[in-house]
Amino acid sequence: MATLDRHIQALVERVTRDIILPRYRNLASGDVEDKGGGDPVTVADKESEAALREGLSTLAPGVAFVGEELVHADPATLEHLKGDCWIVDPIDGTRNFASGQPPFGILIARAEGGLAQSGWIYDCLTGRFCIAHRGAGAFVDGARVTARTSGDDMPVAAISLVYMDDAQREAVKQQICPHYSLVDIPYCAAEQYPRLALGQNDVSIFERTLAWDHAAGVLWLEEAGGKAARHDGSAYRVDEWERTGLIGAASPALWEEMAARLQSLA
């Protein structure tokens, strides 16, 4: 494990131990707020992000920081995604965390030129630590991994319908879902991306594609040999924050199959 990876691992472990887990299933009534649209944030999200920002600033002084809660407070922070920056989701899966349910994790990416160059995915409850650097492969707990499929006769799909409009949601239900063995979405990208490479799920579609949710996972899945891209096949870029729609799959063939089905809806 490279020196940077060891530092990142120590940081996320410390933040999890000192800030996140002490409040797991231990949130007071005033510790959870609604950012709007049923999107919760907890005191642990805010404190975790502050600690992660401080820790990352010591690893790379002067590099811009784009955190989910910072962007909520100041949307102009998104402009940093055009340059060299850290991208952080301090608790990915806040909905689960706030309700006292797994999974939830920490997502960190380092991006340059609109593309993630490194990504780290940490599962706060199991300690699973995923690492990817562009062109260098994907790793779980120090072991290199290669994406594998579920092996099911019908591809296993986790399809997020949450942010689709009514017409799009109905079309997907009627014309896409019958071709797959459907499983529940985990409401946590830090769990969904590993599932796509580790033989649990074969394909996922996402409508909302915010950088802190997807930058690390897209890179990790692709470095494992899977594929994650926009519906038209273009690369996922963190500096295209107004775009929606993303397909992730355990193999390029599974990606192509889903992309063709979605394009038929247009």
Binding-site residues from annotation = 68, 89, 91-92, 213
pLDDT beyond 70 at 159: yes
Q: Which residues are annotated as a binding site for Mg(2+)?
A: 68, 89, 91-92, 213
Cβ atoms within 10 A of the Cβ of 165, count?
Answer: 9
Topology classification of domain 156-263? D-Maltodextrin-Binding Protein; domain 2 (3.40.190)
Q: What is the mean pLDDT of the chain?
A: 96
Q: How confident is the model at residue 266 (pLDDT cuts 50, 70, 90)?
A: low
| CATH number of this structure's domain 3-145 | 3.30.540.10
Locate the domains of the chain by residue range.
3-145, 156-263
Q: Against a cut of 0.75, is the pTM above it?
A: yes
